Amino acid sequence: MKRPQHGKGEFHHKRSLGQNFLTDDALFEQLVDLSGVGKEDAVLEIGPGAGGMTKALSARCRQVVAIEVDETLLPILRVALERCGNVRLVHGDVLRLNLPELTAPLGPFHIVANIPYYLTTELMTLLLTSDMPIQSISLMVQKEAAQRMVARPGEEGYGMLAVRAQYFYAPQIMLDVPACMFTPPPKVDSAFVVMPRRERPPVEVQDEALFFRVAAAAFAMRRKTMENNLIASFRVSREEAKQWLSLCDIPDGARGETLSLQDFAALSNAMTKPL
């Protein structure tokens, strides 16, 4: 494999850190365009790598905080970003840093990144359960992960990631990116997903924690009916489970993975009242 030179020394990509870099400046510009960020915006970038996306963001946004875990990239990044006065480079693991504290000076902020794919689920869970003032999340991810974010009821990949992402955000796959655009190319194709934060969730929910518990119950045992999943997860009688489902016009025998956000909202709202 050819070892690209970045800055002074020779850099060796670490597969363990998901280091599949993009190198095409036109693609960085396109990704920043698609993310919709502009000159008033503050952006958090996770995994700046050799700094290609960071430079594009720096030129187009008010402020950028870029978090990189690989310390061998720091000298390369310092050279690449020496003219980018609005970039703050932070060395650390995004999952271990105190993100609310780190991003507090930004005010409301956007996230734009080509993330390492091993981090996708943990990072998305962290972002989707945090109360940081995130205005949008735009990520290059494995295509399959992108599909899990936008999946609709009954579609392959529909699960908690889709429910959380679609409750708080409006995710859309904006671009398919073939493996050959990366150095080194990953074994999978990629997609760029853009998720603007919703002003309010698309469904009326009385108890958010209960809504997510009901959704989690639906996916707990995928081959079982929602009725059986309710019984197992909430330790209620079959009679109660049946009554809640019928109150929400959910057919007997419906499997959890076919239920929509509206169904989870109706069910959790029904469950807040005594039968």
93 near ligand SAM (CB under 6 A): yes
11 near ligand SAM (CB under 6 A): no
Which token pair is 184? 């080194």
Of 53, 156, 169, the C-alpha closest to 114 is 53
Contacts with 56 (C-beta within 8 Å, 6 or more apart), sequence order: 25, 28, 29, 31, 32
Alpha carbon dihedral 95, 98, 103, 109, in 10-degree steps, equals: 40
Q: How far is 250 from 96, CA to CA, in rounded Å?
A: 41
Among 22, 42, 77, 112, binds ligand SAM (CB under 6 A): 22
At residue 44, what are phi and psi to the nearest 5 degrees?
-105, 125
Q: Given the complex with ligand SAM, which of 87 and 151 has the nearer CB atom?
A: 87
Report the residue number whose CB is nearest to ligand SAM. Answer: 47
47 near ligand SAM (CB under 6 A): yes
Q: Given the complex with ligand SAM, which of 42 and 271 has the nearer CB atom?
A: 42
21 near ligand SAM (CB under 6 A): yes
53 near ligand SAM (CB under 6 A): yes
CA angle centred on 219, ends 217 and 220, rounded to 5°: 60
Residue 180 burial (10 A CB sphere; 0-12, 13-18, 19+): exposed
Q: Which one of the spans 1-9, 66-74, 141-149, 191-199 is the region binding ligand SAM (CB under 6 A)?
A: 66-74
116 near ligand SAM (CB under 6 A): yes
119 near ligand SAM (CB under 6 A): yes
49 near ligand SAM (CB under 6 A): yes
70 near ligand SAM (CB under 6 A): yes
Q: Which one of the spans 44-52, 149-157, 211-219, 244-252 is the region binding ligand SAM (CB under 6 A)?
A: 44-52
Contact 194, 138 (CB under 8 A): yes
Helix (H) or strand (E) holding 216: helix 208-220
Of 163, 174, 172, 173, the C-alpha closest to 202 is 163
Among 19, 35, 190, 229, binds ligand SAM (CB under 6 A): 19
Q: Given the complex with ligand SAM, which of 12 and 238 has the nearer CB atom?
A: 12
Q: Which one of the spans 19-27, 75-83, 201-209, 235-243 is the region binding ligand SAM (CB under 6 A)?
A: 19-27
48 near ligand SAM (CB under 6 A): yes
Sites of contact with ligand SAM (CB under 6 A): 17-22, 46-50, 52-53, 67-70, 73, 93-95, 114, 116, 119
